[in-house]
Amino acid sequence: MFTATFYPDSNPSAPVVLCNTTRALAEIALTFNHQRVTDKVQGYGAAFGTAIDRGNVRNTISFDVRRSEDDTPAAFVDAGAAFLYAIQHPAEIPGTGNLKLAVPTNGGTTTIWLLNCEISRFEVPDFLGVAPLFRYTFNGGQITTSTPSPL
């Protein structure tokens, strides 16, 4: 079961469950982008320049959530209720925090964390009445298997 939970820095004891599904990772359009932060230094009299690794990384993770299938507590009674939830939902993911992803593997479940992240994009590209599709994109720092402190 794939689960995505956001722990806001402002209140880590009040996590927001964004996805809780048994669907395959391919079905939720999970994407990942890793970028290493470096400085390029010109050669200035040398035969070549150099790149200095600053030890920083930026990771972007994106996934889709179909509310009717991936998060049953958020099932809606009608299209109006679904629209109102969708339009107000970004306020539930305030500022920065840590994103916990529980990823199904052959050996069970592996938990990874995207540290120091924020939601950089939230959209509803497909609105099917009571089953809107939410697309989340988080931009953050290091990915680790260690639980961050304080949680």
Identity of the residue numbered 107: G
* Listed range (5-14, 73-82, 140-149) with the worst mean pLDDT: 73-82
Domains and CATH numbers, the chain: 2-144 (2.40.30)
pLDDT at position 15 = 92
Sign of CA dihedral 104, 108, 114, 118: positive
Q: Name the helix (H) or strand (E) containing 47.
A: none
pLDDT at position 5 = 94
* Listed range (26-30, 59-63, 109-113, 138-142) with the worst mean pLDDT: 26-30
Q: Are 4 and 136 in contact (CB under 8 A)?
A: yes
Q: Are 148 and 98 in contact (CB under 8 A)?
A: yes
pTM equals: 0.82
